[in-house]
Structure 1
Amino acid sequence: MTDLLPGLGPWLACALAASLGCALQRLAGQGFGMVAAPVMALAAPGFLPGAILLAGLAVGAGSFVADRRAVVLRDLPPGFAGRALGAGIAAWIAARVVGTPALPLVVGGFVWLGVILSVAGLRLAPRAPTLFGAGTVAGVMGTLTGIGAPPMAIVYADVETRRSAATQNVFFAFGMAVSITALAVSGLIGARHLVFAATLLPVVGVTLLGVRPLAGRMARGAIRPWALGLAAAAATVLLLRSLL
């Protein structure tokens, strides 16, 4: 069983990061991967990227079910198509970096890319071409690291909070499923990823229930700086530890 789970300390760190990331994902439509990925890369790198994608699937699906009536259905097909393309590209890359010293650098670099995209102030209207393009970039980022939200967040920056979060959570859940499939086909998801992710599911469930009263009441702007700051700090520590 020791090969299927990290030690208690690393597991607790991952569980805490998963809980915080889950809360941010539920309330704002982004945040799970940006918080959980760098912490997991520091505490339990051997379980990336499979475990975080499996846990992320539960986070996205649970968040979608809670706000499914606010989803903008017409936006889904082009975003889904882009996400599938990006996942295929990322699976090819992952086969070459998973289990190597390059993986923490990839994770840390993508976290910082996500932070930069989130604070750059870019605005793109949610039209078919932009949704496809954002979905493709999100597919690459999300499959490699679990961080696929920032490109889609740019497209939904000016959309009403609840509709934005709900629709992004659909993309997030679909993206996790596609990414998991792509990695499984490439032989990069095994029993250890499944077991570790399963132990995080109760944490995800409790968090989704716990933040439910806050949904619709808390503006994205209130929690966004904290999420980005935590993600940037964790990514910086990860990069420094990998380089020094």
Structure 2
Amino acid sequence: MAELLPGVGVWLACLVAVAVGTGVQRLAGQGYGMVAAPMLALLAPDYLPGTVLLVGLCVGAGAFLADRSSVVVRDLPPGFAGRALGAAIAAWIATRVVGTPALPLVTGLLVWFAVGLTLLGLRLPLTPPTLFGAGTVAGVMGTLTGIGAPPMAIVYAEVETRRSAATQNVFFAFGMAVSIAALLLAGVIGLSHLAFALTLAPAVPVTLWLVRPLAARVARRAIRPWALGLAATAAGVLIVRSLF
């Protein structure tokens, strides 16, 4: 069972990971989970996935509020339905891997899968069926690791940047909420996850405020290579450590 809070050094490193992930999420509509999840899995594996999801709820809500005028409401119902289904599936899986050595390995592999999806540059038409399918896959990935954005990003690849980022942030916030609910029902989120998340959460509004001047000037493509490189490196270290 995890202690209520980790040591100061681990906490500071996790705080930085959350801040970087929050900044990327705000600017690109994805990235928080790919940055924060592998870093927390390396530094504080006992707090996964609950802490990543609880802080992620703040990240998604804050990023959505910053760009809510660009959200296209008609996109939301099929994506929400898929995300809820995926969260239910993942909660069942989580009862078997959370708290075991398998979780860091699963996290690392899903990060690599997410990076691979992003790099492949796949494209899907933006339709209710593709939103539902992407939402389901995102629900499974997001509930287990906090990384649910890449499947939705495939659907929004050809969509105007502001609409894409804003609507994906809505899916992200909703996904965090249903994932937390599913894991609470499954009994795999506890007091230690909540306590740690509460100490990390102040980094979210501070980061969102700091990156606000960049939102109109920084293109998603400019920051994506850095975010993907950091995520892939952390996941690689995580996988190697889990196996050896």
If the length of structure 2 is used for normalisation, what is the TM-score?
Answer: 0.98
Q: Which residue of 2 aligns with 1:77?
A: 77
User: Aligned partners of 2:125, 2:73: CA distance in 1, in Å?
Assistant: 16
User: Aligned partners of 2:35, 2:166: CA distance in 1, in Å?
Assistant: 19
Residue 5 (1) aligns with residue 1 (2): no
1:117 counterpart letter in structure 2: L
Residue 177 (1) aligns with residue 157 (2): no
User: Aligned partners of 1:135, 1:226: CA distance in 2, in Å?
Assistant: 25
Q: Which residue of 2 aligns with 1:157?
A: 157
User: Aligned partners of 2:101, 2:4: CA distance in 1, in Å?
Assistant: 21
Consecutive unaligned residues of structure 1, counting only runs of 5 or more, are none
Structure 1 runs of 4+ with >4 Å offset: none
Q: Give % identity.
A: 73
Q: Which residue of 1 aligns with 2:38?
A: 38
For each residue in 1:66-115, what CA deviation from the matched residue of structure 2 results, as whole angstroms up to 9, or x when unmatched? Answer: 10000011100000000000000000000000000100110000000000
Consecutive unaligned residues of structure 2, counting only runs of 5 or more, are none
**Aligned residue pairs: how many?**
243
If the length of structure 1 is used for normalisation, what is the TM-score?
Answer: 0.98
Q: Which residue of 2 aligns with 1:119?
A: 119
Larger deviation, residues 168-177 vs 155-164: 155-164
For each residue in 1:153-185, what CA deviation from the matched residue of structure 2 results, as whole angstroms up to 9, or x when unmatched? Answer: 001111111110000000000000000000000
1:100 counterpart letter in structure 2: T
For each residue in 1:120-169, what CA deviation from the matched residue of structure 2 results, as whole angstroms up to 9, or x when unmatched? Answer: 11001111000000000000000000000000000111111111000000
2:212 counterpart letter in structure 1: R
Shift of 1:187: 0.6
Say if 1:162 and 1:216, in contact at 8 Å, map to a contact too. no
Q: Which residue of 2 aligns with 1:209?
A: 209
Q: Which residue of 1 aligns with 2:237?
A: 237
Q: Which residue of 2 aligns with 1:219?
A: 219
Please give the residue correspondences for 1:177-196 in structure 2 after superposition, counting only pairs within 5 Å.
177-196=177-196
Q: Which residue of 2 aligns with 1:197?
A: 197
2:109 counterpart letter in structure 1: G
Shift of 1:216: 2.2
User: Aligned partners of 1:217, 1:129: CA distance in 2, in Å?
Assistant: 33
Q: Which residue of 2 aligns with 1:167?
A: 167
RMSD: 0.8
